[in-house]
């Protein structure tokens, strides 16, 4: 029995009994709807021990459950052992999501009280999903917002982080971006827009910070009216002259305290306000309602505008990927030579070495997420967390998977390479080839303008499907410009998302396969959507690979590749060599020349 976590859940139940709550919902997010929260808001991890990025918890008098998706099933199974917390699986056909589960669990109750940390749950979930499902099932209910409710039992809870602010060039000034948003407001007769999403705020202001690990954001709110911009940010404990100068030079933005957002909104009177219900937290949304502020909830226009990169950003992303490719090739060379010399290396040692190579690069700000460095059964976990101590040792056999990325002043990278460390089994070789085949088929796609990612997802899966294999995660996600490694609104996955893939969008291409207890394979590049011409049938689009790092061809089953796939792979590897060789030490450049030699289709 894991007494630490089970005792925390019992302490929460004691609060529930005292307050008269029938259920408590704890989410894995923060007041801004962030995918990756700061330490202060890792409430699910503190309560249950589950460290995955996507997980929500429900605690009732007789049940504690964690809801997470296919990426984390194996991980959650390990981490929840002995906690008394039951795994509830999402993104599967038989899924029963939290609102549905609550409706079923309390179907015989006269009435229920559901408590939520109103700061760490978005308004859309409460209004549209939770309230909607309970009301539809005729369950009388009261949803109580209890900000920071775990603070009563979470001693020494981390505070709100504060890190220095720094500016970046994006090819478009802050004034131009705010003017665009004001034009959008005027066309729809809004007086102001409230932005809660941290990446949208960073994009508008052309400012970055490090308040959240791996994410260059400042925890804040931004209110843009027709006359002024108010930035609610907490920076009173930052002692950095450069940061202070950036803030003092912001003549077009008025700085406000982070906790002044409700007071300031109240001072505006009966304005017509727009906010995004998917990122505004429930506590703030309830304030807007009780204060009588006429609020229209909808989808923020900033997400789509930010996703379509301008020419400056595109060129920056190209530079970032060339830089990143230099680090990756140095790392893969080091890894191969280390295996050949019987050097003792753990998964953690490899992750640290890759970080050192990235740290040598100009404009490097840090990693864009925690490096996944895995061999064997660890690689079978799509979001494996490499242990710092007692990490598994790499052996000169089988496959090694490394998923990593960097934040640069000129862009953000995300790359996965799976490489052989030595002799591989026939199953490893076949899976390796089929996943790469799917990656190539998506990368080669030509599709009509207006096509959403869900319509082309099958291109990456078909080679696996034909062999009755599949993977549970999405195939592609958007990537920001010196912003989040995950962004929308576009994606490439089986879920129905009507957002078209547009020219200028940058999206990942990362099919995989995971065999529990054995190994995993994933191949990932970032792709830029570009035009592919027009004719009598309409406008056409295609992808340009941005990632610059070779795919290892030494174990490929070439008989499984078509002539077109072989041609694409040879051309890609040749481009990688021609681009990176002049930037690499001579011995690594020669090694890369051999690694990228053309292969022949074997039919």
Express each pLDDT in 376-393 by its tens digit.
999 998 888 898 999 999
Mean pLDDT (whole number) for 17-32: 94
The Cβ of residue 578 has, within 10 Å, a number of other Cβ atoms equal to 11
Spatial contact of 447 and 455, defined as CB atoms under 8 Å apart: yes
pLDDT score at 1:
47
Residue closest to 250 by CA, chosen among 167, 152, 325: 167
Distance CA 25, CA 36 (A): 18
Residue closest to 495 by CA, chosen among 91, 100, 129, 128: 91
DSSP state of 537: T
pLDDT score at 513:
97
C-alpha dihedral, 465 to 471 to 472 to 477, nearest 10°: -100
Distance CA 470, CA 461 (A): 7
- pLDDT, tens digit, for every residue of 335-376? 999 999 988 999 999 999 999 999 999 999 999 999 999 999
Name the band, by pLDDT with cuts 50, 70 and 90, for residue 235.
confident
Angstrom distances, CA of residue 60 to CA of 279, 440, 458: 26, 47, 40
pLDDT at 456 over 50: yes
pLDDT score at 603:
62
pLDDT score at 268:
80
- pLDDT, tens digit, for every residue of 412-433? 999 999 999 999 999 999 999 9
- pLDDT, tens digit, for every residue of 55-110? 999 999 999 999 998 778 888 888 899 899 999 999 888 889 999 999 999 988 88
Q: Which of 119-133, 162-176, 315-329 has the least mean pLDDT?
A: 119-133
pTM: 0.93
The Cβ of residue 475 has, within 10 Å, a number of other Cβ atoms equal to 27
Distance CA 276, CA 503 (A): 25
pLDDT at 601 over 90: no
Name the band, by pLDDT with cuts 50, 70 and 90, for residue 2.
low
Alpha carbons within 13 angstroms on the beta-carbon side of residue 324 total: 32
Distance CA 80, CA 66 (A): 9
Q: Which long-range contacts link 577-585 to residues 24+ away (Cβ below 8 Å)?
A: 577/550, 579/322, 579/325, 579/548, 580/322, 580/325, 580/326, 580/329, 580/548, 583/322, 583/326, 584/326, 584/329, 584/330, 585/330
pLDDT at 306 over 50: yes
Three-state DSSP class for residue 372 = strand
Residue closest to 442 by CA, chosen among 431, 458, 454: 458
pLDDT at 453 over 90: yes
pLDDT at 577 over 60: yes
Average pLDDT of every residue of the chain: 94
Residue closest to 521 by CA, chosen among 588, 581, 464: 464
DSSP code string of 475-515: SEEE--SSS-SSEEEEEESSS---PBP-TT-EEEE--EEEE
């Amino acid at each position: 029995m894991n007494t630490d976590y089970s005792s925390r859940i019992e302490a929460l139940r004691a609060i529930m009994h005292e307050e008269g709550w029938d259920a408590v919902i704890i989410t894995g997010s923060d007041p801004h709807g962030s995918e990756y929260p700061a330490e202060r808001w890792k409430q699910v991890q503190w309560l249950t021990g589950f460290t995955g990025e996507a997980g929500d918890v429900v605690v009732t008098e007789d049940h504690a459950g964690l809801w997470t998706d296919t990426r984390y099933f194996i991980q959650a199974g390990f981490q929840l052992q002995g906690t008394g917390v039951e795994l509830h699986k999402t993104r599967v056909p038989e899924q029963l999501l939290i609102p549905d589960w609550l409706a079923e669990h309390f179907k015989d109750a006269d009435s229920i009280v559901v408590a939520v940390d109103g700061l760490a749950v978005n308004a859309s979930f409460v209004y549209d999903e939770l309230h909607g499902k309970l009301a539809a099932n005729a369950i009388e209910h009261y949803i109580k917002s209890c900000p920071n409710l775990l603070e009563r039992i979470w001693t020494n809870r981390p505070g709100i982080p504060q890190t220095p602010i720094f500016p970046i060039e994006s090819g478009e000034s802050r004034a131009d971006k705010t003017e665009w948003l004001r034009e959008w407001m005027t066309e729809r007769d809004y007086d102001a827009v409230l932005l809660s999403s941290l990446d949208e705020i960073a994009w508008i202001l052309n400012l970055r910070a490090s308040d959240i690990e791996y994410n260059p954001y400042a925890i804040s709110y931004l209110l843009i009216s027709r006359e002024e911009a108010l930035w609610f940010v907490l920076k009173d404990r930052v002692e950095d002259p450069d940061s202070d100068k950036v803030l003092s030079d912001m003549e077009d933005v008025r700085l406000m305290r982070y906790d002044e957002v409700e007071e300031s909104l109240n001072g505006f009177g009966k304005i017509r306000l727009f906010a995004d219900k998917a990122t505004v937290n429930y506590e703030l949304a309830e304030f807007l309602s009780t204060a009588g502020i006429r609020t229209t909830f909808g989808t923020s226009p900033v997400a789509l505008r930010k996703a379509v990169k301008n020419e400056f950003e595109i060129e920056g992303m190209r530079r970032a990927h060339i830089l990143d490719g230099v680090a990756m090739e140095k790392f893969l060379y080091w890894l191969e030579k280390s295996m050949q010399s019987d050097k003792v290396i753990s998964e953690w040692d490899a992750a640290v070495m890759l970080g050192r190579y990235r740290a040598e690069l100009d404009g490097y700000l840090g990693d864009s997420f925690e490096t996944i460095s895995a061999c064997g059964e660890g690689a079978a976990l799509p979001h494996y967390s490499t242990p710092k101590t007692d990490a598994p040792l790499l052996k000169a056999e089988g496959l090694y998977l490394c998923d990593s990325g960097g934040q640069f002043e000129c862009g953000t990278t995300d790359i996965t390479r799976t490489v052989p460390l030595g002799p591989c089994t026939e199953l490893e070789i076949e899976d390796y080839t089929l996943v790469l085949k799917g990656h190539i088929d998506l990368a080669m796609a030509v599709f009509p303008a207006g096509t959403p990612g869900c319509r082309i997802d099958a291109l990456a899966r078909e080679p696996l499907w034909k062999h009755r294999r599949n993977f549970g995660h999405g195939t592609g996600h958007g990537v920001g410009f010196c912003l989040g490694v995950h962004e929308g609104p576009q994606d490439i996955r089986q879920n129905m998302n009507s957002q078209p893939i547009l020219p200028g969008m940058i999206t990942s291409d990362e099919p995989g396969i995971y065999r529990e207890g054995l190994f995993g394979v994933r191949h990932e590049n970032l792709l830029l959507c570009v035009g592919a011409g027009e004719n009598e049938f309409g406008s056409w689009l295609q992808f340009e690979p941005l990632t610059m790092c070779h795919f290892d061809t030494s174990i490929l089953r070439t008989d499984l590749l078509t002539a077109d796939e072989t041609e694409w792979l040879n051309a890609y590897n040749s481009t990688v060599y021609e681009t990176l060789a002049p930037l690499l030490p001579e011995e690594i450049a020669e090694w890369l020349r051999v690694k990228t030699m053309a292969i022949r289709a074997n039919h």
